Copies of this chain bind each other. A is one copy, B any other.
């Protein structure tokens, strides 16, 4: 399995394929071609100085008579943790804020309207260790914690800030939460990870499927493991989301081939844009919180963040092995255009599924199975 030496699928295909074949391969793999965004030279230079990848793409949409184009630029940030996990908690947080500030400044130069950071961006992704201290010390109030206040100082951008939340008003429990901050710096609200593969840190979210009506469009946040659950995407979409962010932290051999599939399928199935953000690998040892030996390998976080559109097309991914900012220009009109074209919402028969699901979850549900021994024998031969 490839580690950091293998940069990305796209880089490999572009290196080896003749132009005609490359065109066909990209058509089958990525759908309708995205346009390259002309990013300011100053932004490209600054990204290079600050040692992160900067890429820009744009999805088009048909011209309409009755609506202006609804153009919005989203920024997806993937980054490694800057300090060793053995550094004092406050220093790690401060280094993360500084690193993200360096990236956000470039996003501002690129005209980004909505920016989203990776899952639990205010800390190392320590949850696989199952140790509590010092990791739980990274938890903050969603409403007025240090990281939320850091995000309120942004550059006329909506900020989606996924953090480990300490909920003081409800027994001081932890949540895996994303805070949404408006472009004027107000905390609009928060949303929580709805599906969890049994964590000892936090429970399934209890806030349902809120959608945030920002100045730049209606957005929702499907945190990490929720991307495996088509119903989770669906409910955000039914509540009106035009862009669904999926800040994630996923590793290794089993998930890397699923990564290009799930968020993209959700964009197709729900006639919306989806933004898949993965962490980026931290190659050093992962200190042990319990005084035992350090963890050498939590698995390889492979970056590869991308944006998928309702017409099934997608951007190339960021690298597997570099900090990066992916700037993508969307025309939100494409959502309704594809909704009218493919009509999956109109043909979805949700009443039927609401009934069938209500039956299927009953303890005494009897699945609809046709058995061969119940098939009448034919009367002849």
B-binding residues in A (CB < 8 A): 1-2, 6, 9, 12-13, 16-18, 21, 24-25, 27-32, 180, 182, 184-189, 194-198, 204, 208-215, 218, 225, 228-231, 234-235, 238-240, 253-258, 260-262, 264-265, 268-269, 311-313, 341-344, 347-351, 353-354, 356-358, 360-361, 367-372, 375, 377-378
15 residue pairs bridging A and B, Cβ less than 8 Å apart: A9-B24, A9-B28, A186-B378, A195-B347, A208-B356, A208-B368, A210-B370, A228-B342, A235-B353, A235-B356, A254-B311, A255-B312, A261-B261, A350-B357, A354-B358
* Interchain residue pairs A-B with the least CB separation, the first 5: A230-B230, A31-B257, A265-B265, A354-B357, A258-B312
Given A32-B253, A186-B375, A269-B228, does the pair A361, B354 have CB atoms closer than 8 Å? yes
Q: A356-B209, A368-B211 given as contacts; is B361 within 8 A of A313 (CB)?
A: no
A223 to chain B, nearest CB (A): 13
- Judging by beta carbons under 8 Å apart, are B312 and A27 in contact? no
Q: Contact at B30–A13, with CB atoms within 8 Å?
A: no
Q: Report B-chain residues with C-beta under 8 Å of the C-beta of A269.
A: 228-230, 262
Contact of A268 among B9, B17, B184, B262 (CB under 8 A): B262
* Complex alpha-carbon distance, A378 and B28, angstroms: 49
Most buried by B among A6, A16, A260, A368: A368
The answer for the CA separation of A378 and B186 in the assembled complex, in Å, is 7
Besides A195-B347, A197-B343, A350-B360, 11 other A-B contacts (C-beta < 8 A) = A12-B25, A30-B257, A31-B257, A32-B253, A195-B348, A198-B347, A208-B368, A230-B231, A231-B348, A235-B357, A354-B357
Cβ–Cβ < 8 Å partners of A253 in chain B? 27, 32
Contact B234 A230 (CB under 8 A): yes
B1 touches A12 (CB 8 A): no
Across the interface, name the chain B residue whose C-beta is closest to A15.
Answer: B21
Asked if A369 and B197 make an inter-chain contact with CB atoms under 8 angstroms apart, the answer reads no
Q: Are B240 and A367 in contact (CB under 8 A)?
A: yes
Q: Is the CB of B29 within 8 A of A344?
A: no
Distance between Cα atoms of A214 and B371 in the complex (Å): 7
Taking a contact as CB atoms under 8 Å apart, the answer to whether B358 and A358 are in contact is yes
Measured in the bound complex, the distance between the Cα atoms of B210 and A371 in whole Å is 10
CB distance from A143 to the nearest CB of B (A): 10
Q: Evaluate contact between A29 and B261: CB separation under 8 angstroms.
A: no
Tell whether, in the assembled complex, residue B347 and residue A196 are in contact, meaning their CB atoms are under 8 Å apart: yes
Residues of chain B lying within 8 A (CB to CB) of residue A211: 367-370
Cβ–Cβ contact B350 & A239, under 8 A: no
Which of B17, B234, B268, B369 lies in contact with A16, CB distance below 8 A?
B17
Q: Are B31 and A213 in contact (CB under 8 A)?
A: no
Which of B180, B235, B258 is in CB contact (< 8 Å) with A31?
Answer: B258
Contacting residues, chain B, for A264 (C-beta < 8 A)? 261
B12, B186, B261: the one contacting A312 at CB < 8 Å is: B261
